[in-house]
A and B are shown apart, each in its own frame.
Chain A
Amino acid sequence: SQKIEQNSEALNIQEGKTATLTCNYTNYSPAYLQWYRQDPGRGPVFLLLIRENEKEKRKERLKVTFDTTLKQSLFHITASQPADSATYLCALDQAGTALIFGKGTTLSVSS
């Protein structure tokens, strides 16, 4: 069966550390993978998109990797800050079909 899983429901880390969030999938063949941030009571906000032929993508303190052999994407936030606390959603993007979202991982960064 088809599944998309984000490693944990909640992740707690200390300010300044690197947060690593995982997105695994089975029986999908996404051409792209997208990451979104969602704050409580608000809509998701797009962060990064990575193509299947890209190994890594960076944007400021954010880094995403995409391994189509392992069927996994890792999302890193370096030098994390309390303002990074939010829920992060991964979404599989199979060209021509709708995005398939994971349940999300809620990150809490404590000072």
Chain B
Amino acid sequence: ETGVTQTPRHLVMGMTNKKSLKCEQHLGHNAMYWYKQSAKKPLELMFVYNFKEQTENNSVPSRFSPECPNSSHLFLHLHTLQPEDSALYLCASSQDRSGGGNEQFFGPGTRLTVL
């Protein structure tokens, strides 16, 4: 497979469930990102990892917990979510975070619905 893949593509969970989103990139990139996209809102950056180290956490509630075991894989662990957390969760990667001018490659997203 090429590019950035995400699983699952759709997820419905109750507020007390624990689930995980998975992202994998086959591009040899060093930086990976989690974004949240809600209707009528711009993409919201959640977390950034560069060379497996977390470099940004945009005041994301602790019910979202990222994990980056290596440069190719990124997880988002979900626990005790709220209905307002329902959104499209997008993973992206780029060559690295330094210098700017790096295009980002996005996965297809996970459509999350919290009941």
**Chain A interfacial positions (CB closer than 8 Å to B):** 4, 31-32, 34, 41-46, 49, 51, 89, 93-96, 98-99, 101-104
22 contacts between A and B (CB under 8 A): A31-B100, A31-B101, A32-B100, A42-B108, A42-B109, A43-B92, A43-B109, A44-B104, A44-B106, A46-B104, A49-B103, A51-B101, A89-B42, A89-B43, A93-B101, A95-B99, A95-B100, A96-B98, A98-B56, A99-B104, A101-B43, A103-B41
- A39 → B minimal CB distance (Å): 10
A43 to B105, CA, bound (A): 9
Hey, which chain B residues are within 8 Å of A103, CB to CB? 40-42
**Are B42 and A102 touching (Cβ within 8 A)?**
yes
Residue of B nearest to A47 (CB): B103
Task: Please name 10 further chain A to chain B contacts, defined as beta carbons within 8 Å, in addition to the given A42-B108, A43-B107, A49-B101, sorted by A numbering.
Answer: A43-B108, A46-B103, A51-B101, A93-B100, A93-B101, A94-B100, A96-B100, A98-B48, A99-B45, A104-B42
Within 8 Å CB of A89, what residues of B?
A: 42-43
B7-59 CB contacts (< 8 Å) to partner A: 33, 40-43, 45, 48, 56
> Is B74 in the interface zone, CB < 8 Å from A?
no
Q: Which one, A31, A43, A96, contacts B106 given CB within 8 A?
A: A43
Chain A residues contacting B105 (CB-CB under 8 Å) are: 46
Q: Which residues of B contact A34 (CB under 8 A)?
A: 103-104
- B24 CB to closest chain A CB (Å) equals 14
Instruction: Please measure, in the bound complex, the distance between the C-alpha atom of A45 and the C-alpha atom of B45, giving whole angstroms.
Output: 16
Assembled-state Cα–Cα distance A42/B5 (Å): 12
Give min CB distance, A40 to chain B, whole Å: 10
Nearest neighbor of A6 in chain B, beta-carbon distance: B42
Q: Is B111 an interface residue (CB 8 A)?
A: yes
Across-interface contacts of A99 in B (CB, < 8 A): 45, 104
